[in-house]
Structure 1
Amino acid sequence: MLRISVSSISSDQPASHQPAPDTPSSNQAPSAPDLLWNDDGLPLSREFDDPYFSVDNGLEESRYVFLQHNGLPPRWSGWQGDFSIVETGFGTGLNFLMTWESWRQSSKHDSAWLHFTSIEKFPLTLSQLQQALALWPQLNELSAQLFAQYPLPVAGFHRLVWPEERISLTLIFADVKEALPQLSGPVHAWYLDGFAPSKNPQMWSEELFSGMRRLSQRQPDQYQGEQPATVATFTSAGIVRRGLLGAGFNVKRVPGYGRKREMLAGSFNRRQGPELAPCFLHKPWLLQQNTQADDAEIVVIGAGLAGATTARALAERGLKVHVIDAAGIAQQASGNPQGGLYVKLAAGDNAIHTDFYLAAFQYALPYMRRYLGAADADNPYWSQCGVLQLAYDDKEAQRQLKFSQTRSLPEALVQPLDQTQAGKIAGAPQQSGGLFFPQAGWVSPADLCRTLLQHTNIRFTQRQVSTLQQIPQGWQIQCSNGTILQSSQLVLACANAATNLLPEAYLPLKRIRGQLSYLNPAQTPALHTVLCGRSYIAPARNGRLCLGATYNLRDDDTQLRDSDHQTNLDHLPDFGPQWQDLNKQQGMKLILGGRVGFRCTTPDYLPMVGAVPESRGFVHRFSGLVRNAKRIPAKAAPQYPGLWLNIGHGSRGLASAPLCAELLVQQMLGAPLPVALDVAEALWPGRFLLRDMVRRKLPPELAQG
């Protein structure tokens, strides 16, 4: 994937525009801590020679230090909107759980939402977490919910969501120095936890305090009478106090808990020191907007995976949503009877591509359980039967080998298999090995879309949208039957149709025709898992197997073609000798029918998610980058007010759409993002406009600004 080349900035730009360190990389799995358990069952770190919580009463100490000295829960009693907490050191999750418990008891407004972000360099394994939290049976209910979504040890961002509780947890498995520059703000309260500065001085660094300063800032209109960001920490060490003071916090020593004499608490003084750019700015084109929860109905055009996931995320934030689609719910590419829930991870230097899809895949698994139920044998809507990506030719074998050599991922996520192992997993002999994803499988995308749109805040209308017009109040949507709708916020989740509705935007999308073939399972070998070669084939559902799909660029034919059925059949040998023999013996006799759909992809095979830049205004404002790509003006990028995109998911929408919907809604609400800022930038809809402007490849009428 192209890394936008204008990431470096001249030294005279505001500090918040300085380039961030690399996104926490998933190349190496984070190390689990080496724990020692004392006679009372309390975990201690062998490396840092320090306990994870107080030997007196860890739960009460957490309440005293972090809740009481951040002014919680009183600050929540009348709170509306998003409240953000950032913690250094997730540890056993005790601080998160006691905060969740308090939020339950104190937050009264349906529009309030708690965002808890925690950074952990050495994440506990699930079994370690379960053992540690067994000490607190009063938290068992919440602990069980955490265990159900606790991510595998993969470096980077992991978003966990409990919509019915109005709470999200973003776990970042990385060093604080890597993680903080990738966070978006604002932050309302800080929990400075982790091991003591004397035991772990690396964490209590200048990077920590400068990151806190950036994330604690808000624009004047964001305060709305609310106090500035607060901070609390168990330690009273001088290095911490001086660091906080230097970062603009007013802090003081207060009595500590139990045998601890003192601790630190305070609040951010936004008037102390030079004013920085908005804390959520990573690059000027990533400025977030605010959508108030009491806004009138938001219109989402598109009722496929992108539209349905977006509508559901908005509805669960208390917003009214009107979904419009000319064909009906999941009638385009999202209407296939089965789709593979898996990701094809990039080998080599394509780090952001892999980081995004790893995060998206792990987010999608509990998402499917939440809305479609447990993936047991009786579930007709989805299955975690696993996905086996076969090394069907030399090129694919080399790609998989390179991936296995450069990425260290847990076996619960992906397993390299030899030929014999692959045959056992597939249930039939194979002619190659491959990569097995044991938690992956298949989903019925149409059933998922219909389920997601069943919400009291969502209404659906089957209607053709002909034109869009920007008006002072937002957007006017002209329908082909003469109906005119109006909304201050409009989301285009309509795949390739977005280019027709917004021709002035620079959206270099690719429309790719795909044809599925349905096979008779009575004539085929038993299939235990999803197999992927040049095509994919999934275990039987409703009396047929799904095989496909073809890739035909610049082909708008909606009719089934025997030639494309034959193309799919020609890929059967990828799945082993039995499938090869079957193709020779039966051929077209295997075909029960099929389906044609059209994928929407982008040049870099990542979705487009976020605000839509106003092309001419953007080129005019940032034209200087053509001469000097390193000098980025400290100006917000022109964008269409209230216009958003969630398109370009290609063949991976089941994995990518849920997290992209979460990202988009957070951008709309100005809330903390569920992904690293570098990933958000990689998904930004204007990336191709910026790239081609810098490369001098824009059309002449646009290049002039």
Structure 2
Amino acid sequence: MTIPTFSPIQPATVDWQETTPVAVDFDDPYFSRQDGMAESDHVFLQGNRLPERFRAMAAGGIFVIGETGFGTGLNCLLAARDFLEHAPDSARLHLVSVEKHPLRKADLARALAHWPALCSLAERLLAEYPAPAPGFHRLQLHPRVQLTLLHGDALALWPQFHHPVDAWFLDGFAPARNPDMWQPELFAQLARLSRPGTTLATFTAAGVVRRGLAEVGFAMHKRDGFGHKRHMLVGKIEGQEAHPVSATGHILVVGAGLAGATTARALAERGCQVTVLDPDGIANHASGNLAGVVYSTPSAHLTPQNRFYQQSYGHALRWLQRHRYPAHPEDGNLNGVIQHYVDERQQDKLEQAMTTGAWPKELLQPHGDNAVQLLGGGYLRPARWCQHLLNHPAISQVSARVVSLQEGAPARVTLENGETLSADAVVLCTAGQSQSLPGLGWLPLKHIRGQVSYCQATDASRRWQQAQCHGGYLTPALNELHCVGATFKLHEDHTHATDSDDEENLAQLRHHLPALWQELGGEHIQIVDRRVAFRCQSIDFLPLCGPLPVATNNPHRPAQGLYLNVAHGSRGITGTPLCAELIAEMICGQPLPMDQEMIDALAPARFILRKRKKQPEWMP
């Protein structure tokens, strides 16, 4: 039977037997009743010789641990603690763990309470713990420790991961109770992702596991098990162990809007020195509206496009929380977004997203009879978010316009004044202006004019707390002004604001939300100001994020040192943090934060490749 790569997640059902969580489906405890922490240390940390290997790491080194069953996260937290204690201060740890049936957050918190020695890391895990949605979820346990949780079946998800692993934790319920996981297909994936010096350890000594791992190239040995378990297994791919060093350097980011600010921050946090180039300053184009809404478009269909909308939403919420933004009421609030049904088709789509479990209740819930609520979303001031992100000692800003690019090592840009700048990489975050650069006219981008109306708050409207989406959107007051918008004009290119666009915004509000239109003043709504900007959108509605193809006649070879992060449309606040991490990890040579299907769906080269073959089945 073929296992679907991505499907709705069924969280674990837990039977608490005194202080021990037991998985009902497998009738097996999550950790040793005798001493869970001691067992994990003995089997996984000592079995892989992690303390000594961490001490031997070079400055700037990267160590990757793969795990086949996340469970309570105990193994990962112990590994993170040992890494922070023993590894060089400039080294980085990536934990990658699969879980088919993740614990609910309340059960996870109850389990982690057993180990106060891990409280600081456990608090970070709980703060960033994702909703039970399918796919890859990137979390940060510490500035130097990343955790990528893969929600779904291990046999389906490991093929979507492509970075070498240095040590394996083969954890999961016992082979006799969970035989579906301990399969030759899984052992083959472990071997594919291993390299000389890669080790593994597992609590089981079952012959089928030992023989299966030996067949794919691991030199297997028994050693004393923990407690009452007589034996456990350890293994290694023969050869000299070597750890790559993170490829930090000087990076040029062109553009200081949402895409540029998030990209610059992601690179700076990985040790790069970043120069942001923008002749117009911070967020003075499409990212410069008074308010923007943190939201997504839920769907029951788990295509790469819809999964990007879901995973980027959760990722954006983690970024905002991590960076403590918004911290002031005048910067916005993340208290949920109300999405009103505009027609039966949208209602069916949103209700299917909930009833199928594709969007879990932690993210999406009914709100009355004619709306849903996106939990965790909200509204904020995009320009201030950009300023917040760019406030980092490794980021500098230069007012300059780029007029041409040159690939290479180093990559180069030429400025409007004729000056040439070089860097280890260049990332274009220039939205629709990217097409004006030589050689980039082929980019399939749409420029969609939008006008937002800024309306004076009233006594009634000042009580509004949540952003409302309908055919347009409406935000609570910021600086006594509500954002009402926005028009969507694909075939207009003028930049001046018009009274007719304001009338269109208010008419749409009146049609979909007549009570709120009335509270805002009804026929006497006072428009204080308005703003015109151009959304940049691709023809398949996904961003272009990844290496720039060297030429349209050679899409398989990326231009050396050149990257794109553009076309976020009206979802810039939501989509840019995940895309920024993808670009940063590509440049720095670290594990990527999303699955290969999604990486391919975002790759700028997809439009060139699509002309040469039939449209992929996943395309909308």
Structure 2 length normalisation: TM-score?
0.93
Per-residue deviation, 1:172? 1.4
| Structure 2 match to 1:400 | 350
The one of 282, 297, 305 equivalent to 1:353 is: 305
Give the residue type in structure 2 aligned to 1:94.
L
The one of 157, 164, 171 equivalent to 1:186 is: 164
| Structure 1 match to 2:292 | 339
State the alpha-carbon separation in 2 of the partners of residues 523 and 558 from structure 1.
33
| Structure 2 match to 1:383 | 333
Per-residue deviation, 1:666? 1.4
Give the SS at the match of 1:186: coil
In the superposition, relative to structure 1, how do residues 304 and 687 fare at CA in structure 2: closer, same or farther (>3 Å)?
Answer: same
What's the CA shift string for 1:464-509, capped at 9, x where partnerless?
A: 1122234x53322111123221123111111112122243474101
| Structure 2 match to 1:676 | 595
**Are the aligned partners of 2:246 and 2:589 in contact in 1 as well (CA < 8 Å)?**
no
| Structure 2 match to 1:656 | 575
State the alpha-carbon separation in 2 of the partners of residues 204 and 81 from structure 1.
31
The range that moved more, 593-602 or 366-375, is 366-375
Per-residue deviation, 1:685? 0.9
**Are the aligned partners of 1:615 and 1:689 in contact in 2 as well (CA < 8 Å)?**
no
The one of 110, 113, 125 equivalent to 2:104 is: 125
Give the SS at the match of 2:228: coil
The one of 396, 401, 405 equivalent to 1:459 is: 396
State the alpha-carbon separation in 1 of the partners of residues 561 and 348 from structure 2.
45
Instruction: Give yes or no for the alignment of 1:143 onto 2:127.
Output: no
State the alpha-carbon separation in 2 of the partners of residues 414 and 695 from structure 1.
35
Give the residue type in structure 2 aligned to 1:385.
N
Q: Percent identity?
A: 40
Give the residue type in structure 2 aligned to 1:88.
T
State the alpha-carbon separation in 2 of the partners of residues 450 and 644 from structure 1.
22
In the superposition, relative to structure 1, how do residues 315 and 194 fare at CA in structure 2: closer, same or farther (>3 Å)?
Answer: same
State the alpha-carbon separation in 2 of the partners of residues 532 and 547 from structure 1.
10
The range that moved more, 568-577 or 244-253, is 568-577
Give the residue type in structure 2 aligned to 1:368.
L
State the alpha-carbon separation in 2 of the partners of residues 108 and 515 from structure 1.
51
The one of 187, 190, 204 equivalent to 1:235 is: 204
The one of 409, 414, 417 equivalent to 1:473 is: 409
Residues 49-448 of structure 1: pairs in structure 2 closer than 5 A: 49-77=27-55, 78-79=57-58, 80-110=60-90, 112-162=91-141, 164=143, 166-217=144-195, 228-269=197-238, 293-295=247-249, 297-347=250-300, 349=301, 351-373=303-325, 378-419=328-369, 433-448=370-385
Instruction: Give yes or no for the alignment of 1:600 onto 2:582.
Output: no
**Are the aligned partners of 1:531 and 1:538 in contact in 2 as well (CA < 8 Å)?**
yes
Per-residue deviation, 1:652? 0.6
The range that moved more, 449-458 or 64-73, is 64-73
Give the SS at the match of 1:248: coil
State the alpha-carbon separation in 1 of the partners of residues 252 and 49 from structure 2.
38
Give the SS at the match of 2:476: strand
Give the residue type in structure 2 aligned to 1:157.
F
**Are the aligned partners of 1:30 and 1:122 in contact in 2 as well (CA < 8 Å)?**
yes
Give the SS at the match of 1:693: coil
In the superposition, relative to structure 1, how do residues 550 and 366 fare at CA in structure 2: closer, same or farther (>3 Å)?
Answer: same
In the superposition, relative to structure 1, how do residues 232 and 505 fare at CA in structure 2: closer, same or farther (>3 Å)?
Answer: farther
Per-residue deviation, 1:50? 1.8
Per-residue deviation, 1:440? 1.0
| Structure 1 match to 2:447 | 511
| Structure 2 match to 1:3 | none
**Are the aligned partners of 1:346 and 1:353 in contact in 2 as well (CA < 8 Å)?**
no
**Are the aligned partners of 2:247 and 2:587 in contact in 1 as well (CA < 8 Å)?**
no
The one of 562, 585, 599 equivalent to 1:643 is: 562
Residues 540-689 of structure 1: pairs in structure 2 closer than 5 A: 540-581=477-518, 585-586=522-523, 589-618=525-554, 637-689=556-608
**Are the aligned partners of 1:535 and 1:549 in contact in 2 as well (CA < 8 Å)?**
yes
**Are the aligned partners of 1:611 and 1:643 in contact in 2 as well (CA < 8 Å)?**
yes
The range that moved more, 202-211 or 566-575, is 566-575
What's the CA shift string for 1:296-323, capped at 9, x where partnerless?
A: x110101111111111111111111111
In the superposition, relative to structure 1, how do residues 149 and 215 fare at CA in structure 2: closer, same or farther (>3 Å)?
Answer: same
State the alpha-carbon separation in 2 of the partners of residues 449 and 455 from structure 1.
11
Give the SS at the match of 2:475: strand
| Structure 2 match to 1:30 | 10
Give the residue type in structure 2 aligned to 1:140.
C
State the alpha-carbon separation in 1 of the partners of residues 511 and 364 from structure 2.
20
Give the residue type in structure 1 aligned to 2:211.
R
**Are the aligned partners of 1:609 and 1:646 in contact in 2 as well (CA < 8 Å)?**
yes
Q: CA RMSD in A?
A: 2.2
**Are the aligned partners of 1:30 and 1:173 in contact in 2 as well (CA < 8 Å)?**
no
State the alpha-carbon separation in 1 of the partners of residues 360 and 440 from structure 2.
45
The one of 418, 424, 438 equivalent to 1:488 is: 424
State the alpha-carbon separation in 1 of the partners of residues 560 and 210 from structure 2.
42
**Unmatched segments (≥5 aa) in structure 2:** 616-620
State the alpha-carbon separation in 2 of the partners of residues 405 and 206 from structure 1.
35
| Structure 1 match to 2:618 | none
In the superposition, relative to structure 1, how do residues 507 and 195 fare at CA in structure 2: closer, same or farther (>3 Å)?
Answer: same
Per-residue deviation, 1:363? 1.2
State the alpha-carbon separation in 2 of the partners of residues 259 and 686 from structure 1.
55
State the alpha-carbon separation in 1 of the partners of residues 33 and 614 from structure 2.
60
What's the CA shift string for 1:248-273, capped at 9, x where partnerless?
A: 111111121222211111212479xx
The size of the alignment, in residue pairs, is 608
State the alpha-carbon separation in 1 of the partners of residues 566 and 460 from structure 2.
36
Per-residue deviation, 1:361? 1.0
Give the residue type in structure 1 aligned to 2:193.
L
Give the SS at the match of 1:539: coil
**Are the aligned partners of 2:453 and 2:505 in contact in 1 as well (CA < 8 Å)?**
yes
State the alpha-carbon separation in 1 of the partners of residues 517 and 480 from structure 2.
22
Give the residue type in structure 2 aligned to 1:306.
A
Give the residue type in structure 1 aligned to 2:101.
F
**Are the aligned partners of 2:456 and 2:481 in contact in 1 as well (CA < 8 Å)?**
yes
Per-residue deviation, 1:82? 2.0
State the alpha-carbon separation in 2 of the partners of residues 174 and 457 from structure 1.
37
Q: Structure 1 segments of 4 or more deviating over 6 A?
A: none
State the alpha-carbon separation in 1 of the partners of residues 510 and 610 from structure 2.
41
Structure 1 length normalisation: TM-score?
0.82
What's the CA shift string for 1:391-438, capped at 9, x where partnerless?
A: 12344334334444444433231112343xxxxxxxxxxxxx022113
State the alpha-carbon separation in 2 of the partners of residues 291 and 303 from structure 1.
29
State the alpha-carbon separation in 1 of the partners of residues 123 and 368 from structure 2.
36
**Are the aligned partners of 1:341 and 1:441 in contact in 2 as well (CA < 8 Å)?**
yes
**Are the aligned partners of 2:332 and 2:478 in contact in 1 as well (CA < 8 Å)?**
no
**Are the aligned partners of 2:44 and 2:169 in contact in 1 as well (CA < 8 Å)?**
yes
Give the residue type in structure 2 aligned to 1:81.
G
Per-residue deviation, 1:30? 1.9
Per-residue deviation, 1:584? 9.1
Per-residue deviation, 1:47? 2.5
Give the SS at the match of 1:553: coil
State the alpha-carbon separation in 2 of the partners of residues 488 and 388 from structure 1.
44
Give the residue type in structure 1 aligned to 2:573.
L
State the alpha-carbon separation in 1 of the partners of residues 380 and 61 from structure 2.
34
Per-residue deviation, 1:548? 0.9
**Are the aligned partners of 1:504 and 1:615 in contact in 2 as well (CA < 8 Å)?**
no
Give the residue type in structure 2 aligned to 1:592.
V
The one of 452, 457, 475 equivalent to 1:521 is: 457
**Are the aligned partners of 1:505 and 1:615 in contact in 2 as well (CA < 8 Å)?**
no
